[in-house]
Amino acid sequence: MSDKIKVAAPLVILHGDEMAQVAFERILATFVTSRLDIDLVEIDLTAENRLVTNGQAVIDAIEALNHHGVGVKNAGMTVNREQRDALLARHPELAVESLHPLATKSPNGAIRKGIGGNITREDIEFRNLKVDKPQWIGRDIEVETMDTGGIKDSYNTLSSATGVVKLVFVGASGDPVELHRREVNKGDPWLLATNDIDTVRAWAHRFFQRAIDEQRDIYLGLKDTVIAGYDGVMRAAIEDIYRAHYQQQAESLGLAYHYELIDAQAARIVANPPQRALWGVPDNTTGRKLYKLVEQLKRYGIPERKAQVSISRMSAGGGDQYGSYNMPAAEDGILKVIVDGDEKHARHVKQGDPILLMSNDRAAIKDWVLQVFRDASRKDKEVYFGLKREYMDYDEVFSDVITEARRELAKADTPPPSFMIMRPSSQLIKMITDPPRNALYPAQNLDGDIFSDISAALGGSLATASSIIESKNGTMLFEAPHGTAHDLYVTYLESDGREAHFNSSALIYAVANALETLAEREDNTALGDYAGRLKEALIGTVGDGIVTGDLKGKTTDPTTETVVDMQGFLDAVAARLSA
């Protein structure tokens, strides 16, 4: 007779890429299939399989999660154009023009929208991690952003009717061409933003010339994978100018150039600031937030972290940049936004200008706000919302919904926790420089992505944070907020698997969270006990000073640390669990 714990409900497993996937397979074998009698619904969400199935793998994942209700997702690659072309070269039967957006875009936004889920990220409560705070006072780092264009100069408003938003383009032919359409309800916010590509190029010249004149290392951050037709277009224009006009001179001066996705780059720079740098963040809403944060850090530094930081990220509505239409203009012409048959806005664009149209779902915003209040009440947290209300009707709707939700909860004799609404830049500064409160910081999608990566990096690493996606209908998806660790995967391959370095903590914690949820739903005491012991084995292993290389020197007593590779860490957790 098997001594495995019987689990009635299946668990959805969404596989990913690179080093994270190597770790995930070993975690499932060590802590799930060898110890539990459980059905796994496994879906291959690797970048290659998403491409080969023309996005069907993403649809399958959404259907499986909605049907079974609980899942664990591993990190997956979001391919840039170069990586996409390399995959297509391996599959000549595929034609780029016939690819569905789900085949190449990040699956994360589609999955969150498909299950109606919002994200909460917070530190795993390791007892003995004490991260040395980065030394910011006196660092010579400047942030350069664009003054005009983009969301700052967008046309944004609330839909006055329930119907269809159409983005129409009129070019040289004079014939209107519909570029995009989406359904909206009355009260839903929508926004049209464009950037003048010539202004972007002029900014690039000023940016690189300033770096050379002041002899600063060069950092550029955009979100070109998820917003390829907007941020990706700007990145291509900016880097073309760098290669053609400034690269040789920069290299001759010994200046380094770094491009990175803005969320990962922000985390890296805040947690490990360079001595002297010019940080280019062309997106001006993000750029202004990071400029204000950097100025604050240079003056006052970063205090020691004394409390867990929790961030709730609104993503269920498919709104903001991640759920946008984004594409460069094919020729000079006029863009028009038509809502339910009425023209609401028009503007000139030139060939190559990046275009972004986004909207959000007011009902989904309300679901999110109620979830934020519910989670904060359950964990006795204060809430700090970040909204740009002074010139953004798009954000004002969030403020109205917060008031509605508060009144509804009060009528039901369940008053919401104490909360405050502030600018997103103030929210970010408070989260980093005033962290001793037991607080929950709700943010919209892109802000939440950037803010949570910064917070996780200051907490130790992305591998020491948990991520929970919860939908209104009860679907729960647990994941690790870290990426696929491409550099570690290259080392793993080059050493024929002998060098396997990866911190598996967040993936183990995600699996334990999922098992704990299954136990609660089927009243399975043995499974609930096992999930709790798995979490304690993880926390206790680190508590004993057994750590992977990324946490070396970050415990309260570095002299007692034992640094192990990925397998050594998994073995230590397994041994403690068995004991």
Give the DSSP letter string of 542-568. HHTTEE-GGGTT-BS-GGG-EE--HHH
CA-to-CA distance for 127 and 419, rounded, in angstroms?
Answer: 28
Q: 11 pairs with which residues across the strands?
A: 40
Residue type, 240: D
pTM of the model as a whole: 0.83
Give how far Cα 321 sits from Cα of 273, 364, 472, 536, Å: 27, 16, 22, 38
List the beta bridge partners of residue 239. none
**What is the pLDDT at residue 318?**
55
pLDDT in tens, 274-287: 999 999 999 999 99
Chain-centre distance for alpha carbon 560: 35
- Complete DSSP assignment for 386-414: E--TTT-HHHHHHHHHHHHHHHHHHHTT-
Report pLDDT for 246: 98
Q: Which of 327, 334, 329, 328 lies closest to 171 in space, CA to CA?
A: 334
Instruction: Identify residue 45 by its one-letter amino acid code.
Output: L
Give the integer Cα–Cα distance in Å for 325 and 230: 9
The token pair that represents 516 in the structure block: 């704990």
The answer on pLDDT for 476 being more than 90 is: yes
pLDDT tens-digit map of 402-452: 999 998 888 888 888 899 999 999 999 999 988 767 889 999 888 988 998
* Confidence band for 309, pLDDT divided at 50, 70 and 90: confident
pLDDT score at 106 = 82
C-alpha 129/C-alpha 556 separation (Å) is 6
Query: Which residues pair with residue 44 across a beta bridge?
Result: 15
Q: Which residue has the higher pLDDT, 173 or 1?
A: 173
Instruction: List pLDDT tens digits, range 56-65.
Output: 999 999 999 9
Q: What angle do CA 542, 545, 550 make, to 5 degrees?
A: 70
Question: Confidence class of residue 13 from pLDDT cuts 50, 70 and 90?
Answer: very high
Q: Is the dihedral of CA 408, 447, 377, 532 positive or negative?
A: positive
Say if CB 232 and CB 189 are below 8 A apart: no
Instruction: Calculate what percentage of the chain has a pLDDT beyond 70.
Output: 98
- CB-facing half-sphere around the CA of 413: CA atoms within 13 A: 0
What is residue 316's predicted lDDT score, i.e. its pLDDT? 62
Assess whether pLDDT exceeds 70 at residue 161: yes
CA atoms of 501 and 8, how far apart (whole Å) = 35
Host H or E run for residue 161 = none
- Pick the closest to residue 290 from 441, 454, 154 (CA basis): 454
Q: Is 101 exposed, middle or buried (0-12, 13-18, 19+ CB in 10 A)?
A: exposed
Is 135 a residue whose pLDDT tops 60?
A: yes
Say if residue 305's pLDDT is above 80. Answer: no
Query: Is the model more confident about 200 or about 108?
Result: 200
Taking the CB of residue 190, how many other CB atoms lie within 10 A of it?
24
Say yes or no to pLDDT of 372 above 80: yes
C-alpha to C-alpha distance for 204 and 233, rounded to whole angstroms: 13
pLDDT averaged over every residue in the chain: 92
Do strands 276-280 and 140-144 pair parallel, antiparallel, or not at all (unpaired)? parallel
Find the mean pLDDT for residues 396-402: 92
Q: What local confidence, expressed as pLDDT, does residue 255 receive?
A: 98
SS (H, E, C) 60-109: HHHHHHHHHCEEEECCCCCCCHHHHHHHHHHCCCCCHHHCCHHHHCCHHH
Which DSSP string do the residues of 268-328 spell out, in sequence order?
HHHHS--SEEEEE--SHHHHHHHHHHHHHHHHH--PPP-S-EEEEEE-TT--TGGG-EEEE
Burial class (CB in 10 A: 0-12, 13-18, 19+), 306: exposed
Q: How confident is the model at residue 172 (pLDDT cuts 50, 70, 90)?
A: very high
Q: Which of 459, 470, 469 is nearest to 503 (CA)?
A: 459
What domains are defined for the chain? 5-129+467-578 (3.40.718.10)
| C-beta separation of 345 from 334 below 8 A | no
